[in-house]
Amino acid sequence: MLPLGSRVALFKASGEEVLDLAMRMEGLFRTLLAALVPWLVVPSFLAGCGGGCDCEQPDVELASLEIVDGGGQRGPVAQSLTKALVVRLLTSSGTPATGQTLSFAVVGGGGSVFARTVAADSAGYARTQWTLGTVAGPQRIELRSVGSDGTPNVWGSMDATATRGPPAMLTVAAGDGQSAEQMQPLANPIGARVTDRYGNPCEGVTVAFAAGSGGSAASSTATSDTEGMAGTQWTLGLPIGQQTLEASVPGLSSVSFAATATTAPSGAPVAISKVAGDQQIIRQHTQMSLAMNVRVTDRLGNGVDGIPVTFSGYGNGWTAFGGFSGAPESYWHVAGEHTVSASVEGIGTVSFNVTVVPWGEPFDGFYLIQFTYYSRTGLSMGSYSSRLLLSNNDWSSSDDGTGSWNGFVQPADGATTLSYQVKPNWRDELTGVMSLNAYGRAVGSGTIISYDMDVPNGVVGTWIASRF
């Protein structure tokens, strides 16, 4: 080890060398610092990006955007549009912005796109498919991108219109749960609503209305409006308590409206009762002596006019010529016990019993006789018919009231004679045979000669008798 004096001397002797070393150390430090700067900057940059996000930007910058196809379309709700959405991305120099990404953002209507973010192809085109939302009406998509400096940009928008789907649902919309007096209209109309499966209103759909309990709808059908609504005025029937009205559309489930009928005021029909015509006993092929009569009354027992009464059950052997207007115009042809019902819808039904006693003679009965006339030369002179009753083998009971019939049938062989006298100088003479066919039905036929003072030689013809 050198002595202190020697060391001082050495330091003094080497001063220039020490300065040179210090300068060289400073240069080395600067070199090392330059090498370390990238490693110091990169972490800071990553921290500013949020640590690990994809911040890579394309080499090109989007400067303009052109909408090529797909805008302004119309289509059913919840369905993909026919055409794809096509846009072109360009740089400031007008060249394709290849690789630049574009976002298709749904901002109205609630639909969706197949690919939300799309990179432009080599020609600058970006494409996606648009599925409309479930709400009918306008739909919109915005075209968005992010600049190299992180700035969000909106380049424009594309519009479409979603149309409603086919009718799928029928619902009660208005007027349910009301009350009114019997036979009176409800205060508010009832309304049904027609929609597609997503609840969009369907216009122009025919809705049918049918009221029960004897009630009525002012309009049996109605057409839905722009809100899908179709309605009518409901007049309740007679029964006190809950009544229903049904609304229906072909192919859809029907819906029912309920209303409560309260006690009717004086004058409303509430009861039906028999007055006359029950338990009659009549002979086969004749009329009843009494009409079947009923009375419709209100809750106070007063008679009510204008209420329809339906008579039924008379088809078994009852022929009502000219329609039913009571019993006397009706003939009973089938022997046995018969029941006729008289009813008022929503009120009730009463029954009449009729006993028909059979004839004793096989040919006796009620007949329709058809006459056909010819001249002596064979020229047709026309035809007519009359209804006659054969009772105890005697012909009688013309229904035309213009003349009189008389004659008889010989039961042994069925031979019959029959004459018609309308005035002294005009008469018809009929001859023929009555017989029973294979079904036990009596039928007859024969010839006729008509005498008239104006036709000396007379007119000939034929007749056929058919029993009811």
Domain positions in the chain are 4-48, 64-163, 169-262, 269-357, 365-467
pLDDT computed for residue 439 by the predictor:
66
Please tell me what DSSP assigns to residue 414: T
Burial 412-435 (b: 16+ CB within 10 A, else e): eebebebebeeeeeeebbbebebe
The superfamily in CATH containing domain 64-163 is Immunoglobulins (2.60.40.10)
Residue pair 365/283 in contact (Cβ under 8 Å)? The answer is no
CB-side neighbour CA atoms (13 Å) of 373: 14
State in words which class domain 169-262 has: mainly beta
Q: Give, to the nearest 10 degrees, the angle between helix 15-48 and helix 4-13.
A: 70
Model confidence at 155, pLDDT cuts 50, 70, 90, reads very high
Residue pair 192/231 in contact (Cβ under 8 Å)? The answer is yes
Phi, psi of 298 (to 5 degrees): -90, -175
- Which CATH number fits the domain 365-467, given the four candidates 3.30.930.10, 2.40.50.140, 3.90.110.10, 2.40.128.120? 2.40.128.120
Residue pair 64/151 in contact (Cβ under 8 Å)? The answer is no
The span from the CA of 349 to the CA of 311, in Å, is: 10
Please tell me what DSSP assigns to residue 254: -
Per-residue pLDDT of 167-190, as tens digits, reads 999 999 999 999 998 888 999 999
End-to-end CA distance of the chain: 163
CATH number of 269-357: 2.60.40.10
- Whether the pLDDT of residue 302 is over 50: the answer is yes
User: What are 270's two structure tokens?
Assistant: 């509430």
- Whether the pLDDT of residue 53 is over 80: the answer is no
- Whether the pLDDT of residue 323 is over 50: the answer is no
Per-residue pLDDT of 277-286, as tens digits, reads 899 888 777 7
Helix (H, G, I), strand (E, B) or coil at 305: coil
The span from the CA of 322 to the CA of 320, in Å, is: 6
Q: Which residue has the higher pLDDT, 410 or 427?
A: 410
Mean pLDDT over each residue of the chain, to the nearest integer = 81
- Whether the pLDDT of residue 426 is over 50: the answer is yes
Closest-CA residue to 369 (of 271, 291, 466, 301): 466
Model confidence at 349, pLDDT cuts 50, 70, 90, reads very high
Neighbours of 448 (CB within 10 A): 22
What is the DSSP pairing of strand 73-76 with strand 152-163?
A: parallel
pLDDT computed for residue 398 by the predictor:
57
User: What are 349's two structure tokens?
Assistant: 């039904």
In this chain, the answer to whether the domains covering 64-163 and 365-467 adopt an identical fold is no
pLDDT computed for residue 456 by the predictor:
58
The span from the CA of 269 to the CA of 460, in Å, is: 60
The span from the CA of 399 to the CA of 406, in Å, is: 13
